[in-house]
Chain A
Amino acid sequence: MASLKTAQKLAIAGLGFALSALLLSLAASGVDRGRLQLAVPALGAASLAFAAGLLATTARTLSRTLARVILAAREVAAGRLDRAELRLAGGGEREASRPGPAGDDLAELVEAFRTMIVTLSSPIEQLRHSGADVGGASAQMAASVKELEAAVVEQAASTNQVTATSKQIFATVQELAGTMRAVRQMASQAASLAGAGLESLNGINATMTELLEATAGISSILTAISERAAAITQVITAITNIANRTNLISLNAAIEAEKAGERAAGFSVVAVEIRRLADQTAVAALDIEKMIGEMQTAVQNGVASISHYAGRARASSATVAGITTDLTRVIEYTRQLEPHFESVNSGMQMQSRAAGQILEAMQQLAETAGRTRDSLAQFRQVADHMRAAAQVLESEVGRFAVAV
């Protein structure tokens, strides 16, 4: 019943409202006044009294409902959707709980308002949640980025250390390779020197052999001289013997001549002359014998010296032969060293190359780390922006209060 009355009141009020609205709208739209002036007095006279009575009753109800809607709208504007709902329901005022005489249109408006509030509340609630989520996520992201940055910095430090170590290895290997080259050169020089020494020694050895042969020749010649001297000594002994005999004969002849007296005077003279010649021969033979003796002594000394010299020459020859063998061995060993040097050298070169490659890789790694750091910085900026945006969103959404 009450609802019917209210509906009637609302219908009448609505009609009056519609009419007044029509009039107002006509007036507002600027319709030709001349034509209207004919109708208005007729209509107005009949309806104006009715409308006046209707308006008087409905205006109050309408204004109350409208006031509720306005309040609700204000709450919505303030973002207080929960309170807007309360206002629509007439919370805070007794009059509002009663259905107004304004009719069903107004009720629909209120209903539509309510629906709108409910419909708005859900996405705002979701937005708030999402804003909180995004804020949390962006904070987490920022933290992760910081950790990542720290890790990247550590990695860069490690990379730098490795790079420095690689550089040291590279330098050491280069130095070692230089030393090896020097050692190789020295070994090669030693080998060539030993070769030259060997040639000289071979020359000395040949000369020694010649000397030994010459010594043997001199020795045999001296022996021959000694033999000749012995033969000469024999001859001289024979001559001396003959001279002695001649002396003896001349002595006996002189004695016989003396016994013979004056008759053998000439014979005596001859005997004396023969003895004189024999004596001279004996003296010459003695001189020669003496010289031969001296010569034989000299030859014997020469033979002894030559023999001594030959012994020493043989010893020297043996020493030279020993040195030659040693030098040959030295050369052989040095030649055997050569391939070892080669392998060491190639190993060093490989090490050097490997160190170079490591260095290159490290440099690439460092570059990559730098790029990663840059990207992370950018990422952090983005995350910061995102967090800021989320905060803005949260504060904006926070202005809305939603009934749960």
Chain B
Amino acid sequence: MLLLTFQAGGARYGLDASGIIEVLPAAELRPVPRAAVYIAGLLNYRGTIAPVLDLNALLTADPARIRLSSRIVIVDFPAADGAHRPLGLLAERAIETIHCRERDFQSPGIRAREAPFSGDVLVDAQGAVQKIDVGRLLPEELQQTLFSPPAANG
């Protein structure tokens, strides 16, 4: 398998490449009024409005800094209703990929209730990399708020 790595608060994390649609440079996002700090904004992705989550804010409570190495990773989000939606994830230093196997991952043993997306940990020459479970990034209520069909708005 292939992992796209990024950094948050000095720690390395990884995203499964099989769920990634595309990696984009960090662009101007449309702000979401009164949204939580981990909602970075709204992105027009090929004609579809895609919400963008700030991974740095989710993992460290500080918003991501916009650099050349800061990128928006578009993932295929499997919503609760069974449909797949594009979801943007803003991450710092998303510039490397790691080839690995599923069995190389270990369970971290401890997992915070507020961070259900924290996955297993891989150790390589540069240190530990914790996999992020994209499917558990959004609670169901938020999924409904974010991906509500146009009829619900009306």
Which A residues contact B (CB, under 8 angstroms)? 240-241, 244-245, 247-248, 251-252, 254-255, 258-259, 272, 275, 279
Closest residue of A by beta carbon distance from B25? A248
Give the tally of cross-chain contacts (CB within 8 A).
39
Write the chain A residue with the least CB distance to B23.
Answer: A251
B95/A251 in contact, CB under 8 A? yes
Contacts A244-B25, A248-B25 given; indicate if A258 touches B68 (C-beta within 8 A): no
- Interface residue ranges of B51-78 to A (CB < 8 Å): 68-69, 71
Contacts of A275 in B (CB 8 A): 95-97
Q: Is the CB of B71 within 8 A of A255?
A: no
- Contact partner of B17 (CB less than 8 A), chosen from A241, A247, A258, A279, is A258
> Hey, which chain A residues are within 8 Å of B133, CB to CB?
none
Contacting pair B18 A258 (CB below 8 A):
yes
Residues of A with C-beta under 8 A to B95: 247, 251, 275, 279
How many residues of chain B are within 8 Å of chain A by beta carbon? 17
Does B22 lie within 8 Å of A252, measured CB to CB? yes
Are the CB atoms of B97 and A272 closer together than 8 Å?
yes
Q: Indicate which residue in A240, A248, A255 contacts B2 across the interface (CB closer than 8 Å).
A: A255
Q: For residue A248, which residues in chain B have a CB less than 8 angstroms away from its CB?
A: 23-25, 71
Would you call B68 and A240 a contact (CB within 8 A)? yes
Q: What residues of chain B lie closer than 8 Å to A252, measured between beta carbons?
A: 22-23
Instruction: Find the residue from B4, B69, B97 having the highest chain A CB count within 10 A.
Output: B97
Q: Could you list some 28 contacts between A and B, CB below 8 A?
A: A241-B68, A244-B68, A244-B69, A245-B25, A247-B95, A248-B23, A248-B24, A248-B25, A248-B71, A251-B4, A251-B95, A254-B2, A254-B17, A254-B97, A255-B2, A255-B4, A255-B17, A255-B22, A255-B97, A258-B1, A258-B2, A258-B18, A259-B17, A272-B97, A275-B95, A275-B96, A275-B97, A279-B95
Q: Is B20 an interface residue (CB 8 A)?
A: yes
B residues in contact with A240, CB < 8 Å: 68
Query: A241, A251, A254 — which one has the most chain B CB atoms within 10 A of its CB?
Result: A251
